[in-house]
Structure 1
Amino acid sequence: MEDWMPATVPGTVLTTLLNNGKIPDPFYGMNNEKIEDIYDTGQEHYTYWFVKDFSEKARKDEQVWLSFRGINYSVEVYLNGQKVNQEPYEGMYLRRQFNITGMLSKDGNNRLAVLVHPAEHVGNPNGGQGGDGTIARGVALQYTAGWDWIQPVRDRNTGIWDKVFIEKTGAVNLKNPHIVTLVEGIRTAHGPQDPATIQLSAELENTQNKEVSGTLNYSLDGETIQQSVSIPANKTIEVSLPDYSLKNPKLWWPSGYGEQHLYDINIQFVADDNLSDSEAVRFGVREIQTEWNAHTRSKQISVNGQKIFIKGGNWIISDAMLRFSEKRYDAEIRFHRDMNLNLIRIWGGALPERPEFYAACDKYGLLVIQDFWMSGDANGRWLDPYKKDDQWTRRQYPDDHDLFLESAIDVIKMLRNHASLAMWCGGNEITPPADILYALRDEILPELDGTRWFIDYSNSDEMSYNFKGGNGDGPYGIQDISTFWGDKTWPFNSEVGSVGTGDAVSLRRFIPEAHQVIPEEQDGTEKVKDEVWTYHKYIDYRDAMDPYGKPTDMEDFASKAQLVNYNQYRGLIEGFSAHMWDWYTGVIIWKTQNPWTALRGQMYDYYLDPNACLYGLRTGSEPVHGMYDPVTGNIMIANNTFEQQFDLMLKVTAYDLKGESKVLTQIFCYIEPSDSRVIMSLKKKIDELRAEEGMFLSVQLMDEHENKVSDNFYWLPDASGNYSGLQAMEKAGLEASAKKISDTEIELRLSNNEGNTVSFFNRVSLVDKASGERLLPTFYSDNYVSLVPGESKTILLTYENLESNQTSIEIGGWNMAKQTISID
């Protein structure tokens, strides 16, 4: 037993090896290169036994079940020396439940032993997307053989990667409940509601050699809905309860449009007045609708009869090594809510996300597109010299179509009750093979769900007419802000994105000191001269920082990157919002997060530290938003709510680099629900004011109570495209005070004195008082903030562990040295 080590379950082999100090952290520097790859070692190297001793006895008339929610890739399960799975158990996404009642020891002392085998086809990590593509021969993750945002995961995530648990029931096991909510008509987010219809069914498994009769029931809103049923011996049947009309339902809405009301019910099967089994289910009352918008030539999404302009983010996975937790899921989904997004698409090279992910999306109001497990790269859409097999062969991946469909059925049953799940998608940039596609579309989904739109693949013409040719995605990487406003792209763009490098504090977490340099491009390649930056998939900013002055070191480079980050994502979402329902019905950013320490496409880093991308996107996505079009010089308003915004006061103010102000307009205006409109053009005035050294432009909206509903602050270059004035700005210190207002919240008040110039682009950080390290994750009501002379702002900081930490606040900006603020 000397060679045994404590195992991390749920977890992968690599996670256990890391936690036991057997390998270095593959997320740091070039450490991943020091870990042996399964393609070179062979499967045996990453084949492990997992053993657990536990106490359990079965009482009279009790059935005991052993449940696995995910293994990778195949297992042999033994309990007290007896083999549990008499048939093969393989496939990463397949749940399995075993009745172990007769295998439990009489004294209650049991040993569970699970031998986990890696996938047969692990792929050659040769630098291609999904390596040589053969990783797709199995029903599992494809990114683990490498992609353009991650290096190969050396064990391909072999292991018992999801939960293992014991359940107890009576003679009848209640499984896979299914709840459908029907919400007719066009609903409002507030006030009394017409009834909604609740449809509920569940599977009942009789473990006995005789028929069992009883009642399936649940209670809701003071009413009990039930159905008498008899289950034949050793059979599983599906039972539907009578439809229930829920009076004045509390509806579930996407973030920004209304509340995320959720109902809790307990579904029970009772036989002979004894509870045999029950399942607790949380669900939201809502209905998803889709229709074709003939004007934009793209799909349009509605919830409860109200059309929703989609502002989404593409999601890979929470952690590349599958180290999932409810706390991390909650934080990441909260970040997406805080960016004023309303949808997340789960990319097809990863996995069906966990119920805990969906629970967070239910809570925060994020609609979800769930891809099935295909990608154009590995599954043969394109000719690719990195791939081992030809396109015809890859087109028929995976090898076992029946396993793919069995896994799909199981995943649908696992996830279908979540209010946030809005759409299923056949695959990333490619449909599944014909037999899988037809089975999913025409048989499985209509039978098991039938309430959600099925997209055949992520950039399908059925979703968005591809009038430009190519893949129907992108562009990716740094772009001129004017392109987002002036260049029409796909009307429902499933992937469009930009850069995302974090600041110096973020970079130092995983870049060794010797490599903390300014990344320099290698001519004619996508790589940079420093190997660590290249290894972590850095996307070049090209000349985007030059107008601010050439960076002098990594700290300066990373600080100026944040200016670019903020502008990129504010400009992206503003450009799409400005053309809602005319050019576009939605946009999904590629991508909003990284499950590895990659240097691209992320609103926060792997360690949950936000960068300026998040706050630029947050500002540009305000529910009611005033904005400046850099192409036309128009001042516009976007309204992402169901309410008409009447008697809004629009105020546009110019500030020079000394802080002197000039009101360009102050006017009442209005805007219809879910719409955008031009108010006026100020191009001539703005071009004149910014010509010599650039300028600041404040676009604000105030409601009838004179409260700010939109506060948008631009910095504009001079006539030559440089920020010459910024480079010569005077210092402007802020007055700051902070007080703790609850166990998890701090209120920070910032003020800029009348005599100062603008205090520009200040980053606020909650830090440990002793070490100065940032406390993560911290949520800020705003960040990278600018204050004009005489202005005050209040920022709310939220951190879960305030009680157990001595904290202070660090703040510093473009023209203000860093200072530390004590908290009262």
Structure 2
Amino acid sequence: MEEIQQLDTGWTFKDTADNSGEWLPAANVPGSIHKDLEHNGQIPDPFVNMNELNARWVAERSWTYRTCFASPPTEVGSVTDLVFKGLDTLATVSLNGAKILEADNMFVEYRVNITEKLKPEHSGANVLEINFASAMLRGRELVKERAHEHRFIAHQTEQGRLPIRKAQYQWGWDWGPILVTAGIWRPIYIHTYASRVDDVWFQAQVSEDLGSVCGKLFAQVSPGRACKVRFTLAKDGQLVFDCESVSDESGQASCAFSLQDPALWYPAGFGKPERYELGATIVSDHHISKTKLIGFRRAELIQESDRSGMSFYFRINNIDIFCGGACWIPADSFLAVTPERYREWMQLLKKGNQNMVRVWGGGIYEDDSFYEACDELGILVWQDFCMACQSTPAYDSFLASLEKEARCNIRRLRTHPSLIIWAGNNEDYEIQEAYGLDYDYADKDPQSWLKSSYPARYVYEHLLPNILEQEDPGVIYHPSSPWSHGKKTTDPTVGDIHQWGIWHRELKPYQEAPTLSGRFVSEFGMVAYPHVETIKSMVTDPGQQYPGSILMDFHNRAIDHERKLLTYMSENFSVDYNLESFTHLTQLVQADALAHTYRSWRRQWRSAGRRECGGVLVWQLNDCWPTISWAVVDYYMVPKPGYYAIRRALTPVAVGVARPFHPWTHGHVDPTIALADRKYEVWIASTEARAREVELQVRFISIRTGKDVAKKIVRRVTVLANGTTEVITDDVDVAMQELAHDKIVPESEDTWDLNQASDFKFPSRHKRGVPPFSLETHDPYIIFARVTDEAGGLLSTDTSWPDPLKYLSWEGRGVQVEVVGEQEVKVTAQKPVKGFVLQEVRDGAALSDNGFDVVPGEAQVVRFERAIGDVNDLRWTFLGAENTLGRTRRRYELP
């Protein structure tokens, strides 16, 4: 017999200090105190206006939850456990007035034997109470208590978050509110059994030739005793392996296995993510069993010395994988994410041609359904341990709790083929550098690290890798993100980097992206406003719905956000402060920045032996509340144009075109240099397994007239498999000689590399025989590249515009929008159009493309995921449009 009874109904709660006796109904279990209070009208929605401020008091109170349940029927010899999948966070649990558990870690599952503590069957209900103490207040107390032995340093809000093993982002981040939760955040259930299978897992190695997989299958049964266990492996319902084993006295059973010609798990875009069903059954009258879907793959992190330093890229099943993807934060401040919602998020990621998601260390170890969706869809997972931007303590009780947390979550996640790498934390080594904490890379004695001013090194370079080796031998581990083998974390030649030279630090122009790459860029990004209707859902006062209002600023937590965002906007565009126009411009800034970074860094994937950049992960995919942030998809799952910019840059075969960067904001610079420079480059990046023949077309089109100003270039190109093919390093056709100036001469032995652009001096045009530059006669042009396959099918396009766009004139674009089917729209233009955006609907209804450029003679067809109706039901905008969003086009309201 094995019975599970969920305890998800009948819960009430109250302020622990309130002796009035009033208990209020909980909205949902699992849930959180804030949503329960909101459900009962005790606080307003913290996501709206400045209501968050009216909810911060909640975190400084203790809260008690209570429910009653009948004792389950039992048989002689059976056991009844109370299982807590997640308690948030400092919880004292009592059953029928007797304390049964003290919990202090949000990330640990607890199981308590209550067989002898239950009331006899039919003798009345059992009373279960859980008291949640204030994590915020206890954290502050611990900082004071431990100040003599540890220097608590926390970026992003207060130090009190560090000693509490809880989702750190809830103390507030530069994209999220201060909403420190409490409550039952994962299921509670009663488990009655005579025996059970606690876990089933495997350790295996795929052979170098991929022809076989062999290893061991494991199961843990309870109670610990010798019993017969049957192991099975099945593929598509067909049994492919079967054996029996006897467990030892601790309850662990194992057996060796091997498969010939296994169906392997591949990342999206490189093959099918094949999976097997692994089962373990206790061979008895009841046949108690546990099954999991697993996958076999050969996974390597390639860190080899080369001429640029040391590589950092992943090789899966002998294929070098360029990892294009995004960083993931918790999708809700209150962690209310269903399995269906997780799958929708990962589907959206895959639709965007992304193949990796990084679970950031300031959040949580996500629900099983998150990783199951990644397994199914072929999304690689980079998993941080849950520490971020801090000097992590290392006193005994903290280490003991962290060890339980690590073992619990490694065991829970180790069978997921999508989870490809564990990293020790997020940016903690940057804290070490910023504050000059002790770090001698040559010192390899872990005990000495504990005595230093940076004891966190003990956690990241000793404790966690040792636990991983015990629980999941051979899994890839990286001490931190970023981490550079003892060098500065900003060193672009080794390890991974977080590239915040754009936006943070120097506020470099995003046009300099080619010079800012690293061996693996695991963070970078640009802030943008969300969907206009998302803004109106979080700022409900029409009088506050304008850029820079107090409520708008309240929903932008990025430090110095106005200075930084306006710098990028005003450098590149003529700024319009109408909300719809301003929103559109912020989104264009983000999309342009991401287009530059993804295309130029993917270009540096190069070829085997020259993997100069192994991956690019944008900060960030998602939001935890309606806000203004770096997210490329907003809280309501509406993609911003930046999402589509990434999608275009990560197509399997992607063309790129670029001009040299000439700064226009430096003092005494000649702004006409950039306008007159005729140098350009074209390349094609491919992730396909085989070389292929394509046709490349390059056009030069007047922005003013829409006419071609030079002869179109047409070339047949053999595109290198899984690498970059450099195609053109040239000047514009001789028909544009009036724009000529002194050429920049390459200094390297290779074709001219945009990485070197910032090292070149400005050429001088003002020489004898060169006509003076004239704005009246200058005819700026775009460079448009398109690549088609042998059958003429479109594979990719890219457009290079002269910078800055604010110097250009946008009159009379001649845009036409036509509904050509139930779900399709065709967009054409007589003159080049920048940043055409169709408004979208909520809840992940992504379009086939958006935020794109429109080129004369090149129709853009966009497919919706629903019927469109009449063209007048649509609204759109583009750079310089008179009918900006919300002015003359009907809005889609958020439900």
| Structure 1 and Structure 2 fold alike (TM over 0.5) | yes
User: 8 Å contact 2:50–2:551 — kept in the other structure?
Assistant: no
Q: Alpha-carbon deviation of 1:573?
A: 0.6
> Which residue of structure 1 lines up, in the alignment, with residue 286 of structure 2?
274
> Compared with structure 1, are the counterparts of its residues 443 and 734 closer, same or farther at alpha carbon in structure 2 (3 Å cutoff)?
closer
> Which residue of structure 2 lines up, in the alignment, with residue 91 of structure 1?
105
> Which residue of structure 2 lines up, in the alignment, with residue 345 of structure 1?
358
Write the deviation string for residues 347-376 of structure 1: whole angstroms up to 9, x where unpaired. Answer: 22222222111112112222112111223x
User: 8 Å contact 2:355–2:379 — kept in the other structure?
Assistant: yes
Q: In proportion to residue count, which structure has more strand?
A: 1
Pick from 638, 663, 670 the counterpart of residue 718 of structure 2: 670
Check if 1:66 corresponds to 2:82: yes
Measure the CA separation in 1 of the matches of 2:697 and 2:611: 26
Q: Alpha-carbon deviation of 1:413?
A: 0.4
> Which residue of structure 2 lines up, in the alignment, with residue 242 of structure 1?
256
> Compared with structure 1, are the counterparts of its residues 36 and 549 closer, same or farther at alpha carbon in structure 2 (3 Å cutoff)?
closer
Tell me which amino acid in the other structure corresponds to 2:702. D
Pick from 440, 443, 467 the counterpart of residue 466 of structure 2: 443
Q: Alpha-carbon deviation of 1:626?
A: 0.3
Measure the CA separation in 1 of the matches of 2:780 and 2:547: 26
> Compared with structure 1, are the counterparts of its residues 326 and 806 closer, same or farther at alpha carbon in structure 2 (3 Å cutoff)?
farther
Tell me which amino acid in the other structure corresponds to 2:188. V
> Which residue of structure 1 lines up, in the alignment, with residue 420 of structure 2?
422
Q: Alpha-carbon deviation of 1:614?
A: 0.3
Check if 1:372 corresponds to 2:385: yes
> Compared with structure 1, are the counterparts of its residues 52 and 255 closer, same or farther at alpha carbon in structure 2 (3 Å cutoff)?
farther
User: 8 Å contact 1:75–1:115 — kept in the other structure?
Assistant: yes
User: 1:8-47 to 2 correspondence within 5 Å?
Assistant: 8-37=28-57, 41=60, 45-47=61-63
Q: Alpha-carbon deviation of 1:708?
A: 1.1
> Which residue of structure 1 lines up, in the alignment, with residue 578 of structure 2?
553
Write the deviation string for residues 447-466 of structure 1: whole angstroms up to 9, x where unpaired. Answer: 21013211111111139975
> Which residue of structure 2 lines up, in the alignment, with residue 742 of structure 1?
none
Tell me which amino acid in the other structure corresponds to 1:559. H
> Which residue of structure 2 lines up, in the alignment, with residue 222 of structure 1?
239
Tell me which amino acid in the other structure corresponds to 1:648. V
Tell me which amino acid in the other structure corresponds to 2:700. A
Measure the CA separation in 1 of the matches of 2:592 and 2:466: 46
Tell me which amino acid in the other structure corresponds to 2:187. K
Q: Alpha-carbon deviation of 1:255?
A: 2.0
> Which residue of structure 1 lines up, in the alignment, with residue 554 of structure 2?
532
Check if 1:294 corresponds to 2:305: yes
> Compared with structure 1, are the counterparts of its residues 128 and 505 closer, same or farther at alpha carbon in structure 2 (3 Å cutoff)?
farther
> Compared with structure 1, are the counterparts of its residues 697 and 101 closer, same or farther at alpha carbon in structure 2 (3 Å cutoff)?
farther
1:641 alignment partner, SS class: coil
Of stretches 110-119 and 684-693 in structure 1, the one that deviates more from structure 2 is: 684-693
1:422 alignment partner, SS class: strand
User: 8 Å contact 2:329–2:360 — kept in the other structure?
Assistant: yes
2:67 alignment partner, SS class: strand
Pick from 600, 606, 610 the counterpart of residue 575 of structure 1: 600
C-alpha root-mean-square deviation of aligned residues, in Å? Answer: 3.5
Normalised TM-score (structure 2): 0.77
2:842 alignment partner, SS class: coil
Q: Alpha-carbon deviation of 1:70?
A: 1.0
> Compared with structure 1, are the counterparts of its residues 263 and 577 closer, same or farther at alpha carbon in structure 2 (3 Å cutoff)?
same
2:623 alignment partner, SS class: coil
Measure the CA separation in 2 of the matches of 1:436 and 1:587: 27
User: 1:62-141 to 2 correspondence within 5 Å?
Assistant: 62-79=78-95, 81=96, 83=98, 85=100, 87-102=101-116, 103=118, 105-107=120-122, 110-119=126-135, 121-123=138-140, 129-141=155-167
Q: Alpha-carbon deviation of 1:656?
A: 2.6
> Compared with structure 1, are the counterparts of its residues 204 and 18 closer, same or farther at alpha carbon in structure 2 (3 Å cutoff)?
same
1:545 alignment partner, SS class: helix
1:417 alignment partner, SS class: coil
User: 8 Å contact 1:138–1:398 — kept in the other structure?
Assistant: no
> Compared with structure 1, are the counterparts of its residues 219 and 589 closer, same or farther at alpha carbon in structure 2 (3 Å cutoff)?
closer
> Which residue of structure 1 lines up, in the alignment, with residue 168 of structure 2?
142
User: 1:706-721 to 2 correspondence within 5 Å?
Assistant: 706-717=792-803, 721=804
> Which residue of structure 2 lines up, in the alignment, with residue 653 of structure 1?
699
Structure 2: give runs of 5+ residues left out of the alignment: 1-20, 144-151, 430-454, 661-678, 741-774
Write the deviation string for residues 712-742 of structure 1: whole angstroms up to 9, x where unpaired. Answer: 344444xxx3445452233422211342xxx
User: 8 Å contact 2:492–2:518 — kept in the other structure?
Assistant: no
Write the deviation string for residues 694-724 of structure 1: whole angstroms up to 9, x where unpaired. Answer: 434332111112111113344444xxx3445
Pick from 54, 60, 65 the counterpart of residue 49 of structure 1: 65
Write the deviation string for residues 621-664 of structure 1: whole angstroms up to 9, x where unpaired. Answer: 212100112326210111123222x2111111233334334653
User: 8 Å contact 1:200–1:241 — kept in the other structure?
Assistant: yes
Normalised TM-score (structure 1): 0.83
> Which residue of structure 2 lines up, in the alignment, with residue 752 of structure 1?
828
Write the deviation string for residues 603-622 of structure 1: whole angstroms up to 9, x where unpaired. Answer: 01112111111011111121
Structure 1: give runs of 5+ residues left out of the alignment: 188-193, 380-393, 521-527, 740-746, 767-773
Pick from 720, 724, 737 the counterpart of residue 820 of structure 2: 737
Aligned residues between the structures: 752
> Which residue of structure 1 lines up, in the alignment, with residue 16 of structure 2?
none
Measure the CA separation in 2 of the matches of 1:23 and 1:533: 18
User: 8 Å contact 1:488–1:583 — kept in the other structure?
Assistant: no
> Compared with structure 1, are the counterparts of its residues 54 and 535 closer, same or farther at alpha carbon in structure 2 (3 Å cutoff)?
farther
Q: Which has the larger radius of gyration?
A: 2
Tell me which amino acid in the other structure corresponds to 1:447. Q
User: 8 Å contact 1:70–1:94 — kept in the other structure?
Assistant: yes
User: 1:167-246 to 2 correspondence within 5 Å?
Assistant: 167-169=191-193, 171-185=194-208, 194-197=211-214, 199-206=216-223, 212-220=226-234, 221-232=238-249, 236-245=250-259
> Which residue of structure 1 lines up, in the alignment, with residue 673 of structure 2?
none
User: 8 Å contact 1:128–1:147 — kept in the other structure?
Assistant: no
> Compared with structure 1, are the counterparts of its residues 790 and 497 closer, same or farther at alpha carbon in structure 2 (3 Å cutoff)?
closer
User: 8 Å contact 1:51–1:114 — kept in the other structure?
Assistant: no
Q: Alpha-carbon deviation of 1:553?
A: 1.3
Pick from 478, 499, 504 the counterpart of residue 455 of structure 1: 478
Measure the CA separation in 1 of the matches of 2:311 and 2:289: 43
1:26 alignment partner, SS class: coil
Check if 1:704 corresponds to 2:728: no
